[in-house]
Amino acid sequence: MKSFRVPSTALLLWALTAGWLAAEPVAPEPGQILDSYLAAWRAQQDRLPGSTAAVSIQAEMPRLRRSGRLSALRRISRLGRVTYDILRFEGDNSIKNQVIARYLSAETQVRESADASLSVTPDNYKFSYKGWRELDGRGVYVFELKPRKKRMGLFRGTLWIDRLTYLPVREAGRLVKNPSIFIKKVQFTRDYEQRGGLAVVSRLESTVETRLAGPARIAVQYADYRFAPAAEGGIASESH
């Protein structure tokens, strides 16, 4: 009886293909992913009030060659009200007053009005599943988002969802309605990390295209999150 020998090249190709297939996880149906995401999102809504975080805001207007950096303590009250305790500012005062102050005001208004009409849910967005990927070494499910209405605070872009916890990992896109007639376009990327079972913002980068002074760039870094004991099951703080 003749023995059949598989060429070594064929074996190598088979091994490589098998390895790639094994590395690609079997994803649930998009509807199941969204249901799990919504369940995780709802579970943390009542846990963020009562929290604080250290915030560092770097802003610049390259065309005017002006920049500044502000350090503050961000507080979210039990009722969801956002306040900032300013600790230090360095740089051009026009950046502080015209860029950073306006950002803080807008962020406060959005957070305080962040009811169901602004949440990243199927009530406000159409979700289109784009597949499984890796982001910074983490498995994520990717959805394209299209807002159902042109409402202030909503955006057109992309949502990355953690494959294991179903919490948001990143949101990125462009606001569908500009906050001022002096602004042409607002684009952003918001990164999350998980602390005590919550998805909290770790970094926000935004570019605001103004009509008069060109682009304004803002980078916000969040650190040293602390949660009220009743809100996070006895863990008093979660620091970076």
Averaged over 92-114, what is the pLDDT? 78
Buried-state track 69-79, b at ≥16 Cβ within 10 A, e below 16: bbebebebeee
Which range of 49-53, 149-153, 191-195 scores highest in mean pLDDT? It is 191-195
φ, ψ at 20 (rounded to 5°): -65, -40
pTM, to two decimals: 0.80
Percent of the chain with pLDDT over 90: 51
- Point out which residues pair with 84 in neighbouring strands: 74
CA separation (Å) from 196 to 149, 167, 207, 215? Answer: 34, 12, 30, 37
Calpha distance 61→187 (Å, rounded): 15
Position 109 confidence tier, pLDDT thresholds 50, 70, 90: low
pLDDT of residue 110: 64
pLDDT mean over 107-112: 64
* Arithmetic mean of pLDDT, 180-207: 89
In a 10 Å sphere around its CB, with 0-12 CB exposed, 13-18 middle and 19+ buried, how is residue 225 labelled?
Answer: buried
Residue recorded with tokens 């060659």: 65
In this structure, are residues 77 and 85 in contact, taking their beta carbons and an 8 Å threshold? no
How crowded is residue 120: how many other Cβ atoms within 10 Å of its Cβ? Answer: 20
Answer whether residue 80 shows pLDDT above 80: no
b/e string for 81-118 if b means 16 or more Cβ within 10 A? ebebeeeebebbeebbebbbebbbeebeeeeeeeeeeb
CB atoms under 10 Å from CB of 51, counted, come to 23
- In whole angstroms, what is the distance from residue 88 CA to residue 207 CA? 23
Look up residue 150 and give its two tokens: 């042109």
Rounded (10°) CA dihedral 109, 99, 55, 228: -10
- The residue-averaged pLDDT of 201-222 equals 91
Token pair 């600790």 in the structure block, residue = 87
- Whether residue 21 has pLDDT greater than 60: no
Distance CA(56)–CA(41), nearest Å, equals 26
Residue among 71, 69, 111, 101 at smallest CA distance from 88: 71
> Do 178 and 185 touch, CB atoms closer than 8 A?
yes
Average pLDDT over residues 17-44: 76
